[in-house]
Structure 1
Amino acid sequence: MPHRDDLVPESALSSSSAAPPKGSGPRRIAIISASVGAGHDGAAAGLADRLTAHGFLVDRHDFLDLLPARAGRLLCDTYHHLLAWAPAGYQRLYAATEHASRPGAVWRALFRSAEQPTLRALQPDTCAVISTYPGAGQVLGALRRRGLLTVPAFTYLTDFSVHALWVAPGIDAHLAVHAIPAAQAHAQGAAAVTVAGPVTDPRFTPATGGERSAARARFGLPEHSPLALLVAGSWGVGPVRRAAAEIRETGVAVPVVVCGRNHALAEQLRQDGIEHAFGWVEDMPGLMHACDVLVQNAGGLTSLEAFATGLPVASYRCIPGHGRANAQALQEAGLATWIRTPEELGPVLTELLHGPRGIAQRAAGIALHRSAPGPVPAIAARTGHRPLQPPASSQAVRRTGRRRLALTAATAAATLSLGVAAPLVYAYSEAPARFTAVAHYLDGDRR
């Protein structure tokens, strides 16, 4: 029988003691995502951009390609068909496994089959591995526990609600976008939970008046009407046609629907009289600049992008499983309103467009993107790498410090007023040593 070392590639055996000395050159990080929808890949792309900007070399891998034969495609297709054709069945499956202490036997066998391909995919100089998909995190955690992967492994939690599969023993740190998922991960036993903040494309910023008008003209949208941007993920799943019709019937806003790669849905909507129905949209920042409110059904990356642009967000006719769980978590965070009945739709949209609820959510969404330094400092701290920082004068540093203090105070006030403090305080009071904030970087110094 071959020794264990014969089964493990050199990349997995390169320990931190054998890693290049700090400052000797760029260090390599691998990110493992999954092309299941677009959210996991979107988070991976955002992480890769930030890590590259801070001097890391980044390799990206698709977890579906690391599974044997066509198991990855089969997994993705089964998930897609469940959402599209058997949503009640998916809801039961999600509920049955949401708080399981460990994956079932079938899942464990599937994850075990990806272990050696994962190790072989890593380059010899890899200094850390990050997962943005639950299955990949389970594989990395198992490899770390058995000593087959000797570099730090991170899970970046892309959802606001944390299913049990996201939490893997052996993972060195779980990075969350907000205190709500951080508290959920902590409650399920996740290691080193860190509130790192979201990562989105830097093009997602609040629109100026000129950008708004130009975007409306570019997409052929009404110049003056309130516009509700309805999204349903890259697959365009869920009762989208019903939601679009109900938004139109309120008379509060004109529906603008993005159907992702579901071109048949876009055609059906046009036949229904929904004038502004799009398939896959490359310029989502521009389309968000054109609109006034986002209505979503899954609570994934598009919601984070909307927060960055200053759009108020409503969850409506959510898909089962993670869609409903994310809607609940986003509402607890004060970032989005979960509209549960058609009767609430018109009044809530009116509040989001014209009332204090919309103002509060816009402020909370923008603050989410500015109140944490992002995942890079937490990752760099565990790899012993000093991130690249642009040069700054002492005066600029002082201005940055003042802005951070002001932002911290504003964020704390918004957080308390929206009821976010309780879960964060609870998580910290239960185990302050394990529930940690990301180390703040000022002028390139690590804490």
Structure 2
Amino acid sequence: MIISARVGAGHDGAASELSRRLEDAGFAVDRRDFLDLLPAGLGRLLAATYHRILTRAPSGYQRLYASTEHLARPGLLVRSLIRSCQRRTLRAVAPGTVAVVSTYPGASHVLGGLRLAGRLRVPALTYLTDFSVHPLWVAPGIDAHLATHPVPAGQAQAWGAARVTVVSPVTGEKFTPVHDSARRAARAAFGLPAGQTLALVVAGSWGVGAVRESATEILRGGVAVPVVVCGANEVLAARLRADGFPYVRGWETDMPGLMRACDILVQNAGGLTSLEAFASGLPVVSFRCIPGHGQTNAAALDEAGLAVWVRDPAALGNVLTSLATGALGERQRASGLRLFTSEPGPAAVITTVVGEHGARHEPVTHHPRAVRRGVRTVAVALAGVAAFGIAAPAQAADVVPARFATAAHHLIERYEL
């Protein structure tokens, strides 16, 4: 069983490819979304609020992220809501399941709590989708953590993660390096110019961040022509087209093909798209990164020698030149491709953990309880007020009295909202 979350596309993307590889290894895989396991419809609220914070109050998100970088565990409301969906999670585990893998930190805390309580009797693993590791990625009770490079592996170990193993990244099988002839064919298919250096500008599935500024500075520098992917952000795509940018794409269904057509990737979040670029042989530059994980991922990628983090816009042109035609680009291409050949695949490591454990899980049977409308209303109100405690990676402080959180947890857990 794999638990992901539809918060952006990185967690789901990693889960999808991990599912394919585990199925190739002989497992049947059940996919679940953590947001659907939260009570009282809070999953939808979580995703919507997180999106609003990133797009409308990025400085607030940065402060929240920074304030939780040294917390040993989530805040009180977060812990209450995590406990409230443990029973749902346990019921979702099908008979015969031999392991549960999380690609989202909230799910890892639920699974870790179940393991510590002895209620989940099969291994629980976390696949770290970020290249930097926020402490809330590390949940007590998780049996093993899978990281895609020694840098995030070291960060996870520093936060006390159990059994950290470096594995090759999970990217789709269509993301592969290409020769010049295939690149020319890809450019023709996408209607892109044949004789210019193309910088593929990405901003995640939501198209967040200073994308217009990045595209403008790339074009003004004269080194490369920006090809901008806006994801689901139709407003951004319309503005860029109105600005006169000739190569603007909305939701892209053929990212492997588009990467084959371009020379450099310019990214601002450091997520799955960066790993896909490495697999495609594209050098990567981090520029105008979004707050929080965007900046910590950029720092980790820079430390690993995989992607230069350009903090000064004046330096962007020289970096793009060196990545497109210089030694820096060659080094980064080699380092990126090495990720996929130097370590075991995650499916092999998961298989090993399952084999060592040798146990089978029988999920707890459950009989729904009747819920009175008044109790449901009170519990939903409490949970709604608590929603901001889970709307970002963590809660900055325990600002709500313990009695409030305890009441919310008791009602939600007891009455199965």
TM-score higher than 0.5 here? yes
In 2, the alpha carbon distance for the partners of 1:342 and 1:276 equals 22
Q: Which amino acid is the alignment partner of residue 232 of structure 1?
A: A
Question: Which of the numbers 26, 37, 43 marks the counterpart of 1:55?
Answer: 26
In 2, the alpha carbon distance for the partners of 1:297 and 1:349 equals 15
Q: Which amino acid is the alignment partner of residue 179 of structure 2?
A: T
2:170 corresponds in structure 1 to 199
Match of 1:298, SS state, is coil
Match of 1:369, SS state, is coil
2:344 corresponds in structure 1 to 373
Q: Which amino acid is the alignment partner of residue 322 of structure 2?
A: E
Match of 1:315, SS state, is strand
Q: Which amino acid is the alignment partner of residue 31 of structure 1?
A: I
Q: Which amino acid is the alignment partner of residue 89 of structure 2?
A: T
In 2, the alpha carbon distance for the partners of 1:93 and 1:352 equals 34
Question: Which of the numbers 238, 258, 264 marks the counterpart of 1:293?
Answer: 264
In 1, the alpha carbon distance for the partners of 2:313 and 2:244 equals 19
| Runs of at least 5 residues in structure 1 that lack an aligned partner in the other structure | 1-29, 387-447
Give deviations 1:169-196, integer Å, cap 9, x for gaps.
1000010010000000000000000001
2:218 corresponds in structure 1 to 247
In 2, the alpha carbon distance for the partners of 1:94 and 1:384 equals 37
Question: Which of the numbers 237, 246, 252 marks the counterpart of 1:266?
Answer: 237
The question of 1:220 aligning with 2:157 is answered: no
In 2, the alpha carbon distance for the partners of 1:152 and 1:79 equals 30
Give deviations 1:135-194, integer Å, cap 9, x for gaps.
000100000000010000000001010011100010000100100000000000000000
Q: Which amino acid is the alignment partner of residue 336 of structure 1?
A: A
- CA gap of 1:294–1:137, structure 2 versus 1, over 3 A, is same
Q: How does 1:260-339 map to 2 (within 5 A)?
A: 260-339=231-310
In 2, the alpha carbon distance for the partners of 1:263 and 1:369 equals 34
In 1, the alpha carbon distance for the partners of 2:42 and 2:283 equals 39
In 2, the alpha carbon distance for the partners of 1:332 and 1:385 equals 34
The question of 1:186 aligning with 2:144 is answered: no
Q: Which amino acid is the alignment partner of residue 152 of structure 2?
A: P
Q: Which amino acid is the alignment partner of residue 339 of structure 2?
A: L
- CA gap of 1:352–1:71, structure 2 versus 1, over 3 A, is same
The question of 1:95 aligning with 2:66 is answered: yes
Q: Which amino acid is the alignment partner of residue 228 of structure 2?
A: V
1:209 Cα deviation (Å)? 2.0
The question of 1:149 aligning with 2:124 is answered: no
2:322 corresponds in structure 1 to 351
In 2, the alpha carbon distance for the partners of 1:206 and 1:357 equals 17
1:344 Cα deviation (Å)? 0.8
1:70 corresponds in structure 2 to 41
In 2, the alpha carbon distance for the partners of 1:240 and 1:371 equals 34
In 1, the alpha carbon distance for the partners of 2:308 and 2:84 equals 41
Match of 1:57, SS state, is coil
Question: Which of the numbers 123, 136, 139 marks the counterpart of 2:94?
Answer: 123
Match of 2:39, SS state, is coil
Identity value in percent: 64
TM-align CA RMSD = 1.0
1:434 corresponds in structure 2 to none
1:419 corresponds in structure 2 to none
1:396 corresponds in structure 2 to none
Match of 1:184, SS state, is helix
- CA gap of 1:197–1:214, structure 2 versus 1, over 3 A, is same
1:332 Cα deviation (Å)? 0.3
1:356 Cα deviation (Å)? 0.6
In 2, the alpha carbon distance for the partners of 1:250 and 1:351 equals 14
In 2, the alpha carbon distance for the partners of 1:84 and 1:118 equals 31
In 2, the alpha carbon distance for the partners of 1:261 and 1:353 equals 28
Q: How does 1:5-44 map to 2 (within 5 A)?
A: 30-44=1-15
Match of 2:98, SS state, is strand
In 2, the alpha carbon distance for the partners of 1:240 and 1:210 equals 30
In 2, the alpha carbon distance for the partners of 1:201 and 1:37 equals 17
| Runs of at least 5 residues in structure 2 that lack an aligned partner in the other structure | 358-417
Match of 2:282, SS state, is coil
2:84 corresponds in structure 1 to 113
Match of 1:370, SS state, is coil
Q: How many residues align?
A: 357
In 1, the alpha carbon distance for the partners of 2:228 and 2:127 equals 29
In 1, the alpha carbon distance for the partners of 2:175 and 2:325 equals 22
Give deviations 1:47-76, integer Å, cap 9, x for gaps.
001000010000000000000122011111
1:99 Cα deviation (Å)? 2.1
In 2, the alpha carbon distance for the partners of 1:98 and 1:279 equals 33
The question of 1:232 aligning with 2:203 is answered: yes
TM-score (norm 2): 0.85
TM-score (norm 1): 0.79
Question: Which of the numbers 124, 130, 133 marks the counterpart of 1:162?
Answer: 133
2:16 corresponds in structure 1 to 45
1:385 Cα deviation (Å)? 8.5
In 2, the alpha carbon distance for the partners of 1:149 and 1:188 equals 23
1:360 Cα deviation (Å)? 0.2
1:132 corresponds in structure 2 to 103
In 1, the alpha carbon distance for the partners of 2:265 and 2:356 equals 39
Match of 1:159, SS state, is coil
- CA gap of 1:385–1:219, structure 2 versus 1, over 3 A, is farther
The question of 1:176 aligning with 2:153 is answered: no
In 2, the alpha carbon distance for the partners of 1:66 and 1:36 equals 14
Runs of 4+ with >4 A deviation: none
Give deviations 1:75-98, integer Å, cap 9, x for gaps.
111111111000000000000111
Match of 1:352, SS state, is helix
